[in-house]
Structure 1
Amino acid sequence: MEQFLQTSGALYDETRVKILRFLLEHGSSCVCEIQSALDLGQSRLSRHLKILKDAGFLTSKREGKWIYYDLSKELDPLQQCALEVIKQLPIDLPNKSKECST
């Protein structure tokens, strides 16, 4: 029950759904690429990424001073189903364009 509530809570926000869709389309992405593409402030993006990570949707990896986010490879059936639905949603996202500067 707890996992269900955490998963459904994580999906109950348009920005978080857009983050998941962005990662579905573009794969592993630096936090600065996500921030630029979705035009989000750093603190707001960090909050959304933490919620998605705590719910089990995301993994993160530090490379130098940057953190890269990707979809978890260990999703439960509900999370997998949710991602399949998100793939079908008519969401218009910009391309992944900004690269992190050193």
Structure 2
Amino acid sequence: MPEWVCGGSKINDDAVCSLGRLIGDQQKAEKRIRELSSLVVTIEGEDPDGTVEVLKAVADPCRLRIIKLLKEGELCVCEIMAALDRRQSSTSHHLSVLKEAGLVRERKDGKWSYYRIADGAVMEMLKQAEVLKKK
């Protein structure tokens, strides 16, 4: 199975042949595969792992509840634990994941930790998810 390189990405001749059969034009298929391969290289350079980390963080129902609680303002860990009826270890784990993804910020005051939404983009992301869900 021959391969050639386009924009740093290997292109499989089988992919060109397959697309060529589907669209009925081998030259158009080769051109389109080159364009798509270049796009993939660009996408790979955009830190897709960071996006995945954010989306995974909000995909968990407990973490989503935490974010929705924090919409109302800063809360300490003990308040979040009480609101969600979760253990400290579980709550701290979920907050750590949210913090690592950049969705929440932590403020320490003595032995207490307080959390808040990192910025407005988090709330906008939730609004957009709701819009998409309604369509």
TM range (shorter): 0.7 to 0.9
CA deviation map 1:55-78 (0-9, x unaligned):
000100111110000011374xxx
TM-score of the superposed pair, with normalisation by structure 2: 0.56
Please list the CA deviations of residues 40-93 of structure 1 after superposition, one character each: whole Å capped at 9, or x if unmatched.
001111110000000000100111110000011374xxx4532324778xxxxx
* Separation of aligned partners in 1, 2:62 and 2:126: 14
Q: Which runs of 5+ in 1 are unaligned?
A: 89-102
> Structure 2 stretches of 5 or more lacking a match?
1-47
- The 8 Å contact of residues 21 and 86 in structure 1, kept in 2 or not, is answered as no
Identity %: 35
Show the counterpart of 1:83.
Answer: 126
Structure (1/2) with the larger helix percentage: 2
Are 1:39 and 2:85 counterparts?
Answer: yes
Letter in 1 for 2:86: L
Aligned position for 1:10: 57
Q: For this pair of structures, how many residues does the alignment match?
A: 84
Does the C-alpha gap of structure 1 residues 56 and 84 become closer, same or farther in structure 2, counting only changes over 3 Å? same
TM-score by length of 1: 0.73
